[in-house]
Structure 1
Amino acid sequence: MQTFSLEGEYIQLIQLLKAMNWVEHGAMAQWVVEEGLVKYNGQVDYRKRLKVRVGDIIEFDGQQVKII
């Protein structure tokens, strides 16, 4: 599992996907969320603007990241 150090209170889900280089661009990040390909704390979540905070775990395409 990878980790991502949060610099503020939160990061939006689609921004996190781009920051992790799991997607090539913002439109692709929005698409994978809309298609239900991303899990937030073990559950599929369709919110593109979801606020990801310290302690959350995001899963996509066999990869996981924990927010620290």
Structure 2
Amino acid sequence: MQSIQIETEYVTLGQFLKMIDVIGSGGLAKWYLEEYQVYVNGEIEQRRGRKLKPGDQIEIPDVGKFEIIE
């Protein structure tokens, strides 16, 4: 599991996908979440605006597992 450090209170799921280079721009987040499964804390998440805070775990099949840290 990779640790992803943030310096703000939270990042959105769309920002996170861009941070880990899964998408090239924030505009692709909606499309990506419709086409691929992304799990946040074990549940499928399709909202690009979902706030990810330290302690949240994100799993993207064929990409990896990540944890948000401060």
**Smaller-chain TM-score range?**
0.7 to 0.9
Task: Measure the CA separation in 2 of the matches of 1:23 and 1:3.
Answer: 19
Runs (4+) of structure 1 moved beyond 6 Å? none
RMSD value over aligned CA atoms? 1.4
Q: TM-score, normalised by structure 1?
A: 0.86
**TM-score between the two structures when normalised by the length of structure 2:** 0.84
Asked if 1:13 corresponds to 2:9, the answer is: no
Identity, % of aligned pairs?
37
1:5-44 maps to which residues of 2 (within 5 A)? Answer: 5-35=5-35, 37-44=37-44
Provide Cα deviations, 1:20-64, integer angstroms capped at 9, x if missing partner. 112233233221223451111111011110000000011113311
Q: Which structure 1 segments of 5+ residues have no match?
A: none
Equivalents in 2 of 1:42, 1:32: separation in Å? 18
